[in-house]
Structure 1
Amino acid sequence: MREPQIDYAAVFRALPGMVALLTPDLVYADANDDFLRLAGRTREQLLGRYIFDVFPENPNDPAAAGMRETQASMLRVVATGERDTMALLRYDIEDPERPGHWEEHFWSPVNAPVLGPDGQVVLIVHRVEEVTDLIRARGAPVDDDRARVLEAELYTRSRELQGVNERLRQAHAREREVALALQAAMLPAPSPVGHHRAAVRYRPATAALNVCGDWYDLADLPGGGMAVAVGDVVGHGLAAACAMGQLRSALSAACRVAESPARALDVLGLYARFVEGAESTTAVTTFINWDGHTITYSSAGHPPPALLHPDGSVTFLDQATDPPLGARLERVSRPQASTSFVEGATLVLYTDGLIERRHEDIDTGLARLAHALTHHQHTDPESLADALLADLLPPTANTDDTALIVLRL
């Protein structure tokens, strides 16, 4: 039997009630027919425009808070990836046919995320219940008492719902604090590496739950070399922190007994099958041979380490990349590759929060990292680590945590 072909764009526009789609930058991507009709705007007046350019705050009402509350709700959705139900909202709308004339509206909005393949928010579904007629009972003076009763009831219920949302946010904040404390306890401080200087950094995401999946590790090897690794667990909060701690410890132990970084990742992959939440974890590990001036490396779906040469050029170690942990049903030995280095070079390992941005090809992020490394090439590892974070992380609303190791070879 042939499956029906569904025109989802037509379905969206025919949805009952006001529904709009916005980008994480709060720009209209689409709106259904009811939204256009009840908001009094054409599709051309909405699409591609910033929400508060289309619907600014009423300048004649100094107590108006609709824009502020709507913006805060939508940014929470972008930061947390969680649905946000707003309290009853008064939002005056300027009549497009009569500039300067503002019409009073009462809306009950819900903002929900649409996630992309990487788990990041790519769209916000903005659904609005228009309750103005219930609140004001326009054109029916005999129903003023009923309107006031409805207004009071809706206001009370909306405030109750707002209280529930606030308690949920407080619970998320407590989970964040516990997860960060656990993260700090499990991530080691860099131990002395002879005359080689190292700097490590961990920067949590700004969102309440988007923390604690990244780790770093430096381990002395029995033959006098060093293993340097970073990894990233898919997921957020306490569950990711617990999985991270188990995988970091397992990889650190495997590096000390395995003959190669590829073999260490093989062992980690076997172990990860029994760790809840470890699916699709990415990791990269490098073995440094000080005497031979070589770096041997292997990657399980992780962004490539960067090697900053003394002349300012940058090489990405991308010749031994394999899928993340648990991505294959059958067991296949992981690849590895080697490269040489000269004394004074700098090895940089990091997680994807440092380079990846929405709507951007990863090569753009890698080029930005290479430029920053060259620009700051003459700084010590501590200063270089701080400079990379300052140059590459978004100044606000960082939605992913970042781990970073800078090692002077």
Structure 2
Amino acid sequence: MRKPQPIDYAAVFQALPGMVALLTPELVYVDVNDDFAQLAGRSREQLLGRYIFDVFPENPNDPAAAGMRETRESMLRVVATGERDTMAVLRYDIEDAQRPGHWQEHFWSPVNAPVLGPDGKVVLVVHRVEEVTQLLRARGSLADSDRASVLEAELYTRARELQEVNERLRRAHAHEREVALALQTAMMPTPRHLGPHQAAVRYRPAIGDLNVCGDWYDLVDLPGDRMAVAVGDVVGHGLAAACAMGQLHSALSAATRVAEGPAQALEALDMYACSVDGAESATVATTFIDWGGHSITYSCAGHPPPAVLHPDGTVSFLDQATDPPIDARPGRVARPQARVPFAQGDTLVLYTDGLIERRSEDIDTSLGRLADCLARHRRTAPEDLADALLADLLPATGNTDDTALVVVSL
């Protein structure tokens, strides 16, 4: 088979049909394709290295002009969120480079998209534009010029209205995310003094609006030199998931204080979840640590198994007491639990699926990657180990699902 030739991506960029430009996060041109320079009426020398709106200012003869503001806000949203932003059709007049002070009316359909660096931050903004001036005018070409002008104005007005609706929706989604994250933060406990033991906790929200605020953790002091540690994951996202999370978190925390063991605590949570909207199919892993007896009793409801890291680098997964998720069965069924011993120097790790799962992998591969990471950092204290797990296991471009993590030295 003939070996494929390397692709000249610079040549591909220049050959792209339509207007395409690359800008820095500060909105300075670093490259444009041939169509962009030609249709914009500017040479590459007039564009490269310059701030976009120094080259293309707003039309001073149009008091209602807002094309520059809308384009700038769209690009800055891309830089801030790392997500593509498709704009409504907008009017943005271009000053004739050969005749300063003469402005030509234009309508555009822009799309702004991010290029992410290895650290997940935006390093370039792709600005792709389709000029639709002639298309809009052609829509009114069968009537007289007055009707064409009315149609053009109507389309422009509707496009502006759509853009305003999109901006209001973005603000509403951003506010919901802020409220959900505030609720999430308020519900997460801070580890208290554990005697000779140490604990580290982490929560990382997803990078986008989706899949955030459903994960949680809990640490509960129990009578008789014991402690309970749990993590959970609610299906859904946003404020609704945060509300369901808060109710399940509180219910399990209360049940843990009176239950004989983790299985009984999860059975109580099953009964409570029947009355909580959004609690269906939530997953939980809960452990009872007996410091004096050097043992861990655990039960998992549809959740990835906790891991015990031993000083020699071997990893044991607590996977012998796994059952379906919360409120997943119609009747009351006793949940299983198992008990394992631990030795001084072991480390218990509980986590949610955002830490390990990838769409293209099966669960065994994901757990194997976690075990390898734990083995590499086996001599690390809980705080540093928690940071190492997040750094090594979460995608460099940012996690697409939120992640909760608890690390306890035994």
CA–CA distance in 2 between the matches of 1:146 and 1:188? 65
Deviation at 1:149, TM superposition (A): 4.9
Looking at structure 2, the residues matched to 355 and 77 of structure 1 have their Cα atoms a distance apart, in angstroms, of 22
User: Counterpart amino acid of 1:296?
Assistant: T
Correspondence 1:356 to 2:335: no
Distance change in 2, residues 1:378/1:345 (3 Å): same
Do structure 1's residue 313 and structure 2's residue 317 form an aligned pair? no
Q: Secondary structure at the match of 1:307?
A: strand
> Matches of 1:256 and 1:319 in 2, distance apart?
23
Change (3 A) 1:342 1:241: same
Preserved CA contact (<8 Å) 2:295 2:340:
yes
The 3-state SS of whatever aligns with 2:343 is coil
Residue 400 of structure 1: aligned partner:
401
- Output one character per residue of 1:57-100: Cα deviation in whole Å (capped at 9) or x when no partner: 2442467999x979x89x98989xxxx8741279xxxxxxxxxx
Partner of 1:156: 157
Q: Separation in 2 of the partners of 1:408 and 1:205?
A: 27
Q: Secondary structure at the match of 1:219?
A: strand
Counterparts of 1:245-394 in structure 2, within 5 Å, are 245-394=246-395
Could you tell me whether the CA contact under 8 Å between 1:176 and 1:209 is conserved in 2?
A: no
Q: CA deviation at 1:140?
A: 6.5
Q: For the aligned residues, what is the CA RMSD?
A: 3.7
Q: Which deviations, in whole Å up to 9, do the C-alpha atoms of 1:251-302 show, x marking residues without a partner?
A: 1121221111111111111111112221111101011122222211110001
Partner-residue secondary structure (3-state), 2:333: coil
Give the residue type in structure 2 aligned to 1:275. Answer: V
Mapped partners of 2:18, 2:356: distance in 1: 34
Q: For residues 318 and 55 of structure 1, what CA distance do their matches in structure 2 show?
A: 55
Give, as a single letter, the amino acid of the residue that structure 1 aligns with 2:263. Answer: A
Q: In 2, Cα distance between the equivalents of 1:238 and 1:346?
A: 33
1:175-254 aligned within 5 A? 175-254=176-255
The alpha-carbon distance between structure 1 residues 56 and 262, as it changes in their structure 2 partners (threshold 3 A), is farther
Judging changes above 3 Å, is the alpha-carbon distance between structure 1 residues 53 and 268 closer, same or farther for their aligned structure 2 residues? farther
- Partner of 2:399: helix, strand, or coil? coil
Pick closer, same or farther for the CA change 1:157–1:141 going to 2, 3 Å: closer
Residues 140 and 179 (structure 1 numbering): CA distance in 2 closer, same or farther, change over 3 Å?
A: closer
Q: Secondary structure at the match of 1:223?
A: coil
User: Counterparts of 1:2-17 in structure 2 under 5 Å?
Assistant: none
Q: Residues 219, 55 of structure 1: CA spacing in aligned structure 2 closer, same or farther, 3 A cutoff?
A: farther
Change (3 A) 1:366 1:150: farther
- Tell me, in whole angstroms, the C-alpha distance in 2 between the residues paired with 1:303 and 1:404: 12
User: Does the Cα contact within 8 Å between 1:108 and 1:131 map onto a contact in 2?
Assistant: no
1:16-165 matched pairs, under 5 angstroms: 57=20, 58-60=35-37, 61=40, 86-88=87-89, 134-137=135-138, 149-165=150-166
User: Secondary structure in 2 aligned to 1:364?
Assistant: helix
The TM-score with structure 1 as length reference comes to 0.69
Residues 206 and 77 (structure 1), Cα distance of their counterparts in 2 relative to 1, 3 Å cut: closer
Using structure 2 for the length normalisation, give the TM-score.
0.69
Deviation at 1:358, TM superposition (A): 2.4
Contact 2:203 2:403 in 1 (8 A): yes
Name the CA distance, whole Å, in 1 between partners of 2:153 and 2:212.
40
CA distance in 2, matches of 1:189, 1:180: 16
Question: What displacement does 1:108 show?
Answer: 9.4
User: 1:238 deviation in Å?
Assistant: 2.1
Distance 1:205 1:165 in 2: 22
How many percent identity over aligned positions?
67
Unaligned residue ranges in structure 2 (runs of 5+): 1-11, 21-34, 41-46, 57-67, 92-105, 112-129
Can you give the 5+ residue segments of structure 1 that lack an aligned partner in the other structure?
A: 1-48, 91-103, 110-128
* Structure 1 consecutive aligned stretches of length 4 or more whose deviation exceeds 4 Å: 52-56, 61-66, 75-79, 104-109, 129-133, 138-149
- Structure 1 130/268 Cα, relative in aligned 2: closer, same or farther at 3 Å? farther
Q: Deviations over 1:152-174 (max 9, x none)?
A: 43233222211111111111111
- Does the 8 Å contact 2:202/2:386 carry over to 1? yes
Alignment-mate amino acid for residue 303 of structure 1: P
Query: Do 2:286 and 2:300's aligned partners in 1 also have CA atoms closer than 8 Å?
Result: yes
Cα displacement string for residues 101-132 of structure 1 (whole angstroms, at most 9, x for unaligned residues): xxx996699xxxxxxxxxxxxxxxxxxx9977
